[in-house]
């Protein structure tokens, strides 16, 4: 199977490269998904059986002030790829987010739960999901959350950097989710695309925690002694609102015969050991 990967410079795409052989990775400079002609040219040159679509405008706060840019990438860029996949009867694997949910539930979200994003990034990803569901018969939509990996910026690296500059670090303890190791997610995606089990999947590391718990575990394992102070979201204003609870139920993945991802602490320890 020939696999084209978009957003190849990003943290998830980079992990996919470790698991795939017949893979054609394209960084933004080589394939800008907002450019329909370029998408068509690259698609017709490679003739992939499947696209793993990792490219996205992922700056959640900036998306509030740059709505048209975020929408152009996350929605229109996805439409370009979806149309090509549909016309050529190939497959599309789209990576989506827990931020399609409003966070008002107090138990993990199912794939079938109603989407109601509270920020613009979430809106752009939800609209892209809807387009794919309505237009591409052979699609996988993989929703994940709180991703971290070796390349690029993420919460884990930010916490370690902050600890080098500040004595006290404040982190919110009233937003709950599931940190996810990009390498574990990549492994699941590779298993999924070998099957014809199309549809939406929730795929995250197991368990749940707040951003504060997440940071606390990083500090403990990295032997960092800066003081960590729990605060409330109301005291840490950001441009984008976040859901207060966005844990994704991974039951479908298990029911379909896939191996569940490890608990978030186990997965995080594995990642941290590579940084030490």
Ligand X SMILES: NC(=O)c1ccc[n+]([C@@H]2O[C@H](COP(=O)([O-])OP(=O)(O)OC[C@H]3O[C@@H](n4cnc5c(N)ncnc54)[C@H](OP(=O)(O)O)[C@@H]3O)[C@@H](O)[C@H]2O)c1
Quick check: 93 binds ligand X (CB under 6 A)?
A: no
End-to-end CA distance of the chain: 37
As measured in angstroms, the least distance from the Cβ of 33 to ligand X is: 4
Q: Is 181 helix (H, G, I), strand (E, B) or coil?
A: strand
Range list of β-strands (E), the chain: 3-6, 23-26, 50-53, 91-97, 139-144, 147-148, 168-172, 176-177, 180-181, 199-202, 209-210, 227-231
Quick check: 54 binds ligand X (CB under 6 A)?
A: yes
Q: Is 126 helix (H, G, I), strand (E, B) or coil?
A: helix
Q: Which of 172, 155, 177, 184 is nearest to 248 (CA)?
A: 177
As measured in angstroms, the least distance from the Cβ of 266 to ligand X is: 19
Quick check: 95 binds ligand X (CB under 6 A)?
A: yes
Instruction: For ligand X, give the closer residue by CB, 90 or 183.
Output: 183
User: Using CB under 6 A as the criterion, what x/- string covers residues 137-166 for binding ligand X?
Assistant: -------xxxx----x--------------
Contacts of 119 (CB under 8 A, 6+ apart): 60, 63, 64, 99, 240, 241, 242
Quick check: 204 binds ligand X (CB under 6 A)?
A: no
As measured in angstroms, the least distance from the Cβ of 160 to ligand X is: 17
Provide the H-helix boundaries in 88-234. 120-135, 155-165, 182-193, 211-221
Quick check: 7 binds ligand X (CB under 6 A)?
A: yes
Instruction: For ligand X, give the closer residue by CB, 85 or 168.
Output: 85
Quick check: 135 binds ligand X (CB under 6 A)?
A: no
Active site residue 121: yes
Instruction: For ligand X, give the closer residue by CB, 97 or 183.
Output: 97
Rounded distance between C-alpha atoms, residue 229 and residue 250, angstroms: 31
Q: Which of 71, 69, 65, 66 is nearest to 123 (CA)?
A: 71
Quick check: 9 binds ligand X (CB under 6 A)?
A: yes
Check 57, 121, 140, 245 and give the catalytic one.
121
Quick check: 61 binds ligand X (CB under 6 A)?
A: no
As measured in angstroms, the least distance from the Cβ of 54 to ligand X is: 4
Quick check: 32 binds ligand X (CB under 6 A)?
A: yes
Positions that interact with ligand X (CB under 6 A): 6-7, 9-12, 28, 31-34, 54-58, 73, 77, 95, 97, 144-147, 152
- Active-site amino acid positions: 121
């Amino acid at each position: 199977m020939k696999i084209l990967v978009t957003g190849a410079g990003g943290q998830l795409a980079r992990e996919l490269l470790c698991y795939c052989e017949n893979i054609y990775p394209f960084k933004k400079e080589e394939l800008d998904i907002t450019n329909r002609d370029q998408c068509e040219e690259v698609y017709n040159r490679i003739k992939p059986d499947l696209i793993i679509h990792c490219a996205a405008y992922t700056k959640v706060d900036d998306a509030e002030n740059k709505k048209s840019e975020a929408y152009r990438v996350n929605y229109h860029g996805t439409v370009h790829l979806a149309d090509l996949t549909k016309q050529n009867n190939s497959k599309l694997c789209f990576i989506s987010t827990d931020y399609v949910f409003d966070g008002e539930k107090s138990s993990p979200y199912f794939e079938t739960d109603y989407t109601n994003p509270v920020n613009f990034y979430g809106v752009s990803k939800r609209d892209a999901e809807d387009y794919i569901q309505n237009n591409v018969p052979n699609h996988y939509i993989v929703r994940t959350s709180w991703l971290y990996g070796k390349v690029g910026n993420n919460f884990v690296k930010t916490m370690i950097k902050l600890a080098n500059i500040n004595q006290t670090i404040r982190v919110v303890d009233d937003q709950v989710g599931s940190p996810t190791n990009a390498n574990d997610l990549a492994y699941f995606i590779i298993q999924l695309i070998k099957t014809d089990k199309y549809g939406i999947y929730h795929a995250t590391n197991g368990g749940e925690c707040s951003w504060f718990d997440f940071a606390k575990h990083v500090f403990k394992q990295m032997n960092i002694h800066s003081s960590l102070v729990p605060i409330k979201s109301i005291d840490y204003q950001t441009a984008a609102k976040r859901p207060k609870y966005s844990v994704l139920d991974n039951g479908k993945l298990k029911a379909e015969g896939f191996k569940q991802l490890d608990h978030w602490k186990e997965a995080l320890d594995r990642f941290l050991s590579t940084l030490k």
